[in-house]
Structure 1
Amino acid sequence: MQNRLEKTLDETRKIYVSGNESFRDFCDFTLSIITWNLLSDARISPPNFKNTTSDKYNFTSVLKTLSHNAVNIHSTINEALHYWNNLLQNQQKYGLALLKWDDAITENLPGNSWKLILQLWGKFFSIFPSDNRDILCEFWEYIERYFVAAYNNENAYLTPVALISTMTQYLRGEEKNISIYDPYARTGNLLAGAQHIVPGVQEIVGMSSTRLSWKLATIRLLFTGVQSNIHLSNSSKIDVNNDTFDMILSNPPYGDSRDSISISVKDQHLATIIQKTKRLEVLFLSHMLDKLSDDGRAAILLPSVFLTGSSSVKSLMAYILYRNILDVVVELPQGLFERTAIAPVLFCLNKKRKKDKNIILINATNEMFKSGRQLYLNEKTLTAWLQQIQDGSIPNEKNIIKVAPHEVVTADYNFYKLLHLQEKEDNGERKPVAQLLVEGEQIQNNLVLVQREIAVLIQNYNN
């Protein structure tokens, strides 16, 4: 499937961007074509979605019509997309712009080019098993990677699939009618993972910072999830009124400008904390704490500065510990993200924690493997540990410890110190595992060069 999809995308792009059209416009245009195909397929209709008309606006029917008569091709296609937009708006409550593209972008596309593009996708979907949910999830993951690889925007730091699985494992439970929130949903991969893995999801709420990421997130959730209400918006102003949520799942931005995002925080203590720092992740974490319901849980990725007791995060950590919210802290390997060397840490929050319950600290920096140049998380081991912790037992592993909240305060909020307390110092310096792997690879390369030089010297000597 992946090879066919990549070939179809490449050929579509070659036809579409023959002029000066941008890659962003190509992505927007292609998403509409794909969605039109999927909406026309009754096997994969979204929950509660009913096509109440004839086959007139079905993708295959329109393609057949255009094959015989390409007159008024633009109006024919726009009429079909307008129909599906209206149907989504009336039944699913999505914005009318979900399938719309800028008419100025495509009005100069020749009729023959239109036919070629539609034929490409008609051929692809004629053999695509769209009624298989697992394959459909893989389909959207590949679409996401394809767009991100060539269009470097804020979606470059997408959460790896294995890490999504680990985060959602912590959120799994027996609850029903769950609401899940992500204040920085990017292309929706975290929310899609939750929708696919966590049972009982009834409502999904999220914010995407660009129209393209909002469109991709909304469409993938529409087709890959269970029956749930989806509310995604595209705005730099994040305000969900006075709502709170049962679960929060997020990988907030770390490097964006604080001035570019406006987030509401009702809690006065949290509002005071964020006024004292420019760190964007502190702002997002404060907002999420404010939006977590009284019995809610959250799995949030944060930068490693949250492990070290930095002055910019101490006030927020004091707030979290005083309210007995912090449940599990996982130090993750460096190098899991393709385009950044930031070492992430997973903070698992639980407002239903019992009093005097210990906090579980996991050093998972060695739980990874390498394929090519990329590091991947050892998902099976980590999810098994979290499952045991959820079941009330602590895995008997030397890199998993439990500490009381007051011990964290005594350690000046330095989780890193607590996690590595038992380790022997190596000349006062400890290098990250990812760095050691890179250095080891460099040594191997150098040895190969030395061996080649020795072989040349021997050959010259013999001659």
Structure 2
Amino acid sequence: MADQQENIQGKINNILWQACDTFRGKIDSSIYKDYILVMLFVKYLSDTYKERLDEYKKRYKGDEERVNRAMSRERFVLDEISTFDYLYAQRNNSEIGMIINKALEHLENENTGKLRGVFRNIDFNSEPILGKPKERNAMLKTLLEDFNKLDLRPSVVGHDDIIGNSYQYMIERFASDAGKKGGEFFTPSMVSELLARLVNPQENDRIYDPTCGSGSLLIRVVNQVPNRKVAVYGQERNGQTHSLALMNMYLHGIDDAKILWGDTLSNPLHLEDGKLMKFQVIVANPPFSLDKWAMGFSGDGTDGDKPFKMEASLDPYRRFEWGVPPSSKGDYAFVQHMLYSLAENGRMAVILPHGVLFRGGTELKIRQAIIDLNLLDAVIGLPPGLFFGTSIPACVMVFKKNRATRDILFIDASGEGCYEKGKNQNFLREADINRIVDSYEVYQTQEKFSYVATIDEIMANDYNLNIPRYVDSFEEEAEIDMEQVKRTIASIKKQIGDLEVQMEQHLKTLGF
């Protein structure tokens, strides 16, 4: 059974990746990914709906009233003009782009509680993106023909995870292909897995990602809970990426996720009684050192030419009382937002650039406040080259409320043997993740890998958290035997001399 599902998964993934050929060389992958993923979502909804409709027709012997009543209770409601089959039948229509747009709009309106706004940021009739009508129509026809090769009925694909996995596979491929832009909407899967295990989510937890991208990190955390009985919350600033996240949730069977669209820093949307909602688990991979992170607080620009300066008093949720981060580096703005959103006994893991560990100025002041309040639990140095399109060294900072100790664990997982080297990108293996998580859970000093630092040591280092200050991972080189080196050099010289004699004899034989 596992082999059969693996074959189905592989076939679907291959067809999807081949469908990208329709756009390659014409449109950047960071843009055409939306067309591919939306069409996958529509094909999945359509095939599922069609199979359920056939089942009810057989069960109720063609009684239309009972069939319609049963279909109205399905996860998603479709009618004829919203189905993939209808779009495929219209593939030669000169207005196919507009027809697809109307189908998506209709699909949203019929499922307003779930799909409102999901397709608002994609236009299948866009001339600037897809070209003039003749070229555009040819691409859309080919796209529909490619997807027509897929049979995504539940009876064929089996478990819904296959569709979700295919969606995830495509997102990862697009992220890799898009380079630096890919990092804006996707965290490498094994890095997401590491964070998910570090926060150890439990049944009935509220799980939150304030910069959720395509939602893949949240899904990894949800999957740590066997019955997946958790509440999922996320916010994403980019409208197209927000749509990807919603579709990603539905394709993974998470229908009640609350993924909202907006700037988390200037307009946090997950509120209770006018205050920031609290979460037992928070994970995030916020944009590294975001420039102009506070521009959403600047108002309507009525101050004329006076330069805007962010102040703690401008935030109604009082998140920056420990210090206002530099305008060009938003790392601690996100960290403070998350810490203010963390419930009592909450756990939080965030991917950040190494600079947050040692930079001075206001960031030092914020770092000192976090440590003095005993919120930082661990600092984990990651291997180089894990993230799409950037070589910036990254770390994971783990935070906890109500800690039982004031010590801080440092783990250096950046060295040789802690990861697998790839051609364009490095990878964490299962064994690498297990080693990090086991070390975190044991919370002990391990030679050349981890170190438990006391608060006194942290203070003596002026709150500098640079990992090499605490974990000595230096490997001494083997002592060189100079006598052996001399003997080796003498032997090489003798070999060269013998070769020169032989060469001279050969030259004489040849008459030179």
What TM-score results when the alignment is normalised by the length of structure 1? 0.77
Query: Greater strand percent: which structure?
Result: 1
Question: In structure 2, what residue type is equivalent to 1:346?
Answer: V
* Map of 1:450 onto structure 2: none
- How far did residue 281 of structure 1 move? 0.7
Question: Does 2:422 match 1:371?
Answer: yes
* Map of 2:409 onto structure 1: 360
CA distance in structure 1 between the aligned counterparts of 2:80 and 2:95, rounded to whole angstroms: 19
* Map of 1:409 onto structure 2: 459
Q: Retained in 2: the 8 A contact 1:8–1:124?
A: no
- How far did residue 299 of structure 1 move? 0.6
Question: In structure 2, what residue type is equivalent to 1:298?
Answer: M
Question: Does 2:470 match 1:419?
Answer: yes
CA distance in structure 2 between the aligned counterparts of 1:375 and 1:254, rounded to whole angstroms: 19
Equivalent residues in 2 for 1:220-299 (5 A)? 220-235=248-263, 237-240=266-269, 241=271, 242=275, 243-259=277-293, 262=296, 265=315, 268=318, 270-271=320-321, 273-274=323-324, 278-299=328-349
User: Over residues 336-355 of structure 1, what are the superposed CA-to-partner deviations in whole Å (9 max), with x where a residue is unaligned?
Assistant: 2242221111111111322x
- How far did residue 307 of structure 1 move? 3.1
* Map of 2:393 onto structure 1: 343
Question: In structure 1, what residue type is equivalent to 2:202?
Answer: E
CA distance in structure 1 between the aligned counterparts of 2:120 and 2:425, rounded to whole angstroms: 34
Query: How many equivalent pairs are there?
Result: 418
What TM-score results when the alignment is normalised by the length of structure 2? 0.70
- How far did residue 423 of structure 1 move? 5.0
* Map of 1:36 onto structure 2: 42
Question: Does 2:28 match 1:5?
Answer: no
CA distance in structure 1 between the aligned counterparts of 2:402 and 2:285, rounded to whole angstroms: 22
* Map of 2:112 onto structure 1: 89
Question: Does 2:84 match 1:59?
Answer: yes
User: Over residues 152-197 of structure 1, what are the superposed CA-to-partner deviations in whole Å (9 max), with x where a residue is unaligned?
Assistant: 5643364221111111001224341x32222222333322322333
1:202 equivalent among 223, 227, 231: 231
User: Over residues 369-406 of structure 1, what are the superposed CA-to-partner deviations in whole Å (9 max), with x where a residue is unaligned?
Assistant: 2133532224434335425644xx34673222222333
- CA-based RMSD of the aligned residues comes to 3.7
Report the secondary structure of 1:369's partner residue.
Answer: coil
Q: Retained in 1: the 8 A contact 2:46–2:78?
A: no
Q: Retained in 1: the 8 A contact 2:324–2:362?
A: no
Cα gap change, 1:459 to 1:219, in 2 (>3 Å): farther
User: Over residues 129-161 of structure 1, what are the superposed CA-to-partner deviations in whole Å (9 max), with x where a residue is unaligned?
Assistant: 654444334322332234335545643364221
Question: Does 2:193 match 1:193?
Answer: no
User: Over residues 73-129 of structure 1, what are the superposed CA-to-partner deviations in whole Å (9 max), with x where a residue is unaligned?
Assistant: 456434432221123323x26326358526444682565654332121111345996
User: Over residues 222-258 of structure 1, what are the superposed CA-to-partner deviations in whole Å (9 max), with x where a residue is unaligned?
Assistant: 2124343232314484422422322211111124322
Question: Does 2:142 match 1:119?
Answer: no
- How far did residue 362 of structure 1 move? 1.2
* Map of 2:33 onto structure 1: 27
> Kindly, what percent of the aligned residue pairs are identical?
20
Question: In structure 2, what residue type is equivalent to 1:201?
Answer: V
CA distance in structure 2 between the aligned counterparts of 1:346 and 1:61, rounded to whole angstroms: 48
Report the secondary structure of 2:243's partner residue.
Answer: helix
1:159 equivalent among 187, 197, 209: 187
CA distance in structure 2 between the aligned counterparts of 1:306 and 1:277, rounded to whole angstroms: 14
Task: Specify the structure having the higher radius of gyration (Cα).
Answer: 2
Q: Retained in 1: the 8 A contact 2:322–2:365?
A: no
Q: Retained in 2: the 8 A contact 1:385–1:395?
A: no
Cα gap change, 1:261 to 1:285, in 2 (>3 Å): farther
Question: In structure 1, what residue type is equivalent to 2:376?
Answer: L
CA distance in structure 2 between the aligned counterparts of 1:151 and 1:364, rounded to whole angstroms: 27
Tell me which moved more, 284-293 or 94-103: 94-103
Question: In structure 2, what residue type is equivalent to 1:108?
Answer: P
